[in-house]
């Protein structure tokens, strides 16, 4: 998209002066700006022109704005209430710092206490938004801002769902489900996901902060998603022996494939992280069977065989119907 080239430093949108581009995605760009009424620094999220004309995107953008306005928590980025505006955009509080993704790219794995501290702040934010009927659904290092004192802000509610709101979908995979490395098994299966899906994504992020890698891998997004459905994660302590058995158990509880076996909410996840000495390390099958990697080829064979047989089955049905006329 070319929005970064369309807007230049010094250009004004209503009473906001654009200062510099910050980031862009497939649907919108974010700029640092100054509110000329009081000199306050803000962030402007401006959709691309092609997206503004998409009714589904407009509904999603409006919902993100509505969710952000209701947020009031130190670990959640706030959105300013809408006023009369000359075009569609969102005004958010300016959050200084670095994305957690950038920190991981520069530092690799993090010290255990630092990773736990960051995780506890994100879990506190999740507990808050979940209590208000909001599920983030796209929790990942790209959506967590960390300042110089390791204070955390959860950002970007672009595909969040809100209890009581009608379901919105996109034709594109990533906009509907989230990011392949972090989405839960139930989301891979096409379910909407609930607060336990956010718990799962947080488990992946904690694993990544402690080991420098994600628990599942593959040559493509579909392969990564398939890996989490049929294989056990690479044991955290195999990747980083400094991880205690108790902390490894907490990670496994967050990454349970069946959401009913997972931590039911962010509060219980945070409790175990705070009181690791009370966590019993289970004798898990994941610790012994993780080397048995399944490729999912048998499932693919059945799928393609069913597709190949479908015309024949339809032909037989037509023949039987013709005979019974």
Residues forming the active site: 138
- Sequence length of the chain is 325
Helices 195-211, 245-254: inter-axial angle, 10-degree rounding: 140
In this structure, are residues 173 and 78 in contact, taking their beta carbons and an 8 Å threshold?
no
Question: In degrees to the nearest 10, what's the CA dihedral of 102, 105, 109, 114?
Answer: -10
CA distance 179 to 168: 17
CA distance 67 to 61: 10
CA distance 100 to 103: 5
Question: In degrees to the nearest 10, what's the CA dihedral of 6, 102, 179, 69?
Answer: -60
At residue 65, what are phi and psi to the nearest 5 degrees?
Answer: -60, -45
Q: Residue 282: which of 261, 268, 302 has the closest Cα? A: 261
How crowded is residue 123: how many other Cβ atoms within 10 Å of its Cβ? Answer: 26
Contacts of residue 157, Cβ cutoff 8 Å, sequence gap at least 6: 64, 67, 68, 134, 136
């Amino acid at each position: 998209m070319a929005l970064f080239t369309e807007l230049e430093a010094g250009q004004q949108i209503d009473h906001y002066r654009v200062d510099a581009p910050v980031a862009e995605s497939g649907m919108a760009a974010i700029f640092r700006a100054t509110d000329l009424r009081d000199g306050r620094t803000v962030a402007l999220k401006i959709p691309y022109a092609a997206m503004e004309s998409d009714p589904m995107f407009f509904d999603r953008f409006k919902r993100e704005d509505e969710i952000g306005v209701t947020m009031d928590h130190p670990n959640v980025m706030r959105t300013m209430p809408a006023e009369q505006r000359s075009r569609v955009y969102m005004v958010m509080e300016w959050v200084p710092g670095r994305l957690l993704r950038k920190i991981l790219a520069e530092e690799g794995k993090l010290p255990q206490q630092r990773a736990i501290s960051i995780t506890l702040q994100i879990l506190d934010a999740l507990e808050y938004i979940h209590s208000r009927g909001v599920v983030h659904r796209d929790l990942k290092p790209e959506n967590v801002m960390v300042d110089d004192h390791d204070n955390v802000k959860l950002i970007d509610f672009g595909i969040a769902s809100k209890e009581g709101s009608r379901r919105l979908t996109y034709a594109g995979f990533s906009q509907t489900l989230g990011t392949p490395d972090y989405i839960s098994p139930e989301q891979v299966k096409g379910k909407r996901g609930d607060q336990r899906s956010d718990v799962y994504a947080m488990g992946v992020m904690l694993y990544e902060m402690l080991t420098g890698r994600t628990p599942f891998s593959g040559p493509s997004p579909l392969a990564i998603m398939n890996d989490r459905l049929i294989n056990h994660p690479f044991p955290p302590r195999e990747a980083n022996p400094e991880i205690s058995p108790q902390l490894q158990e907490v990670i496994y509880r967050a990454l349970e494939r069946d959401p009913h076996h997972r931590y039911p909410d962010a509060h219980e996840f945070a409790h175990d992280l705070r009181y690791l000495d009370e966590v019993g390390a289970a004798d898990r099958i994941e610790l012994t069977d993780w080397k048995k990697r399944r490729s999912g080829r048998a499932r693919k064979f059945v799928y393609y065989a069913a597709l190949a047989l479908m015309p024949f089955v339809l032909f037989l049905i037509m023949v039987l119907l013709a005979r019974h006329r």
